[in-house]
Structure 1
Amino acid sequence: MLDWLLAEMPEDTLVGLDLSGSMPFADASAYFPGWDESPADARGLWALVERHSADDPHLSAMSFFDHLEASRYFRRHGGRRGDRFGEGRQGRFRITENAQRALGCRPYSNLNLVGAAQVGKSSLTGMRVLHRLSGKLPLWPFDAVPETGSLVVEIYTTIAAIAAGRAPGRSKMRSYEALNDALGNLGSPPVPSEGAIDDHTSDALLTAAWLRHVHGDAALWHPPGLDAVRFTEGWTFGAR
């Protein structure tokens, strides 16, 4: 995927990556309060993950969340909960995840690495990807929206599903009929098929249609609260 983004992607493409581009910062004025390696901004965070995972294959980041100090901030498998993970089962959240909740979504902390709904592992791997894209492809909101050319944004597929008329608890579509109903609500033509579809495929198709449908909405590029965390926590496109 990284190679495709850098060398093969069509011009003027809006790319949605379903992962967290950063970690909680605003609540403690630090990603990893108490750790002297805690960086000051998101790009520093990507570099930190890269530095401690450089030998991991396929841009994985297992070495980072198993690192003696970093692991203190994560909830991992086998009942391993770091002493700095946070209160309760949920852990810490970014400001944008509070905005997601206001829309009816049910986000998980990206410091949680356990369970089917965890987003931490994919986000840490994604940060190694973002580290390589930095300076080569604009990454909103860490970079300004360019006048022309391609751009990468963080997405949350449930936001797209809600915009397409799906209830938050029914955001996953596992039939072409359900997908095509949602696509129609976004002004997109149906997929010429019927029967079962896996929810990963339907998520991708619907979110691509949603990005095409709403990218011209100026309010989505300037949500309340963004300026305070633009370079630290980042933002999920569509959360407001």
Structure 2
Amino acid sequence: MTRFRHFAAIDWSGAAGERQRGIAVALCKAADAPVLVRPGHVWSRAEVLDWLLTDMPADTLVGLDLGLSLPHADCGAFFPGWPDSPPDARALWALVEQLCSADPHLGVGSFVDHPEASRHFRRHGGREGDLFHLPGSDHRRGRLRMTEGAQATFPGCRPTSNFNLVGAAQVGKSSLTGMRLLHRLAGRLPVWPVDPLPPAGSVVVEIYTAIPAIEGGRSAGRAKMRDMAALNDALAVLGSLPVPGTGAITDHAADALLAAVWLRLAADRETLWHPAAMTAEVAATEGWTFGAA
């Protein structure tokens, strides 16, 4: 049996502003139905950080729906040609924090507009950096991490580059704002696989909410759920009790509720903690998506 006693999932947001309707936090115990933490509350990113550090129950496996890092293995660097390109994920988080220290609400505008960093990003207004496409990158989607290649093995999944900040499918902004949160967790809450899995205590992992949806009987194209009936159908496939209520639910809340239950099932799968393609260097630089084995 898993050593974790609680399972949490956080649907994150990289949007501008202090409070984000796109953030949802869900929690479940070993057998109960999942519940939203502070239902109806409009979270700020700073409040999520505070919850992780002060209010989250002990021995929780918590999944963050964002990318822990940027592509590195394909070119041997996050930012080829930039002398300040960091050597690993923790140094990347520190660099984002350093350049964005004056940006409020864990924003990252100063990083994506930096004259060197911006060369690697696709930004709004047709602003595509001259290094967004490097040799070996996907022509349309840009550079991908090793773990995004593993995500793509799930039927219908087409992950995009964390260097892409444009479009409905982009997760770049969420990932970059998340790096400021991850930087603040250092030494207080381990982040797998950048940190090794400890024998006890809580752990943060990266999740991709399409994976729980697929395991819940939905296709990648229908991963988003916006009514309680659809959510409870997927929860039933995962062996969970239903969430009370009927009618509409935001896809952010549904993603978090389903992912929390999925983490409860996935935590016992040893293969998910030891992906075949995840070398020690990949773990330290790019991280990995829990569930993409």
TM-score (structure 2 length as normaliser): 0.80
Which of 125, 129, 132 in structure 1 is aligned with 2:177?
A: 125
What are the within-5 Å matches in structure 2 for residues 32-47 of structure 1? 32-47=79-94
Which of 81, 103, 117 in structure 2 is aligned with 1:70?
A: 117
1:148-189 CA-to-partner distances (Å, cap 9, x unmatched) read 110000000001111111111111111111111110111110
Counterpart in the other structure of 1:201 = 253
Report the alpha carbon displacement of residue 89 of structure 1 after superposing the two structures with TM.
Answer: 2.7
Report the alpha carbon displacement of residue 57 of structure 1 after superposing the two structures with TM.
Answer: 0.3
Counterpart in the other structure of 2:150 = 99
Match status 1:217 vs 2:269:
yes
Mapped partners of 2:57, 2:248: distance in 1: 30
What are the within-5 Å matches in structure 2 for residues 142-153 of structure 1? 142-153=194-205
Which of 170, 178, 185 in structure 1 is aligned with 2:237?
A: 185
Counterpart in the other structure of 1:157 = 209
Secondary structure of 1:226's aligned partner: coil
Report the alpha carbon displacement of residue 221 of structure 1 after superposing the two structures with TM.
Answer: 0.5
1:55-90 CA-to-partner distances (Å, cap 9, x unmatched) read 000111110000011100000000000000015331
Secondary structure of 2:248's aligned partner: coil
Mapped partners of 2:187, 2:72: distance in 1: 23
Q: Is the 8 A contact 1:39 1:48 kept in 2?
A: yes
The letter of the residue matching 1:151 is V
Report the alpha carbon displacement of residue 146 of structure 1 after superposing the two structures with TM.
Answer: 1.5
Mapped partners of 2:265, 2:153: distance in 1: 22
CA RMSD, aligned part only? 0.9
Secondary structure of 1:99's aligned partner: helix
Deviates more, 1:87-96 or 1:217-226: 87-96
Counterpart in the other structure of 1:53 = 100
1:89-146 CA-to-partner distances (Å, cap 9, x unmatched) read 3110000000000112121101000112211111111001000101110100011112
Deviates more, 1:17-26 or 1:170-179: 170-179
The letter of the residue matching 2:178 is G
Match status 1:234 vs 2:287:
yes
The letter of the residue matching 2:105 is H
Mapped partners of 1:204, 1:5: distance in 2: 15
Counterpart in the other structure of 2:127 = 80
Mapped partners of 1:132, 1:72: distance in 2: 26
Which of 64, 69, 82 in structure 2 is aligned with 1:22?
A: 69
Counterpart in the other structure of 2:190 = 138
Runs of 4+ in structure 1 off by over 4 angstroms are none
Compare the two structures and name the one with the higher helix fraction. Answer: 1
Which of 4, 13, 27 in structure 1 is aligned with 2:60?
A: 13
* Matched residues, number: 240
Q: Is the 8 A contact 1:187 1:213 kept in 2?
A: no
TM-score (structure 1 length as normaliser): 0.98
Mapped partners of 1:47, 1:187: distance in 2: 40
Q: Percent identity?
A: 64
Which of 106, 109, 133 in structure 1 is aligned with 2:161?
A: 109
Q: Flag structure 1 segments of 5+ consecutive residues without an equivalent.
A: none
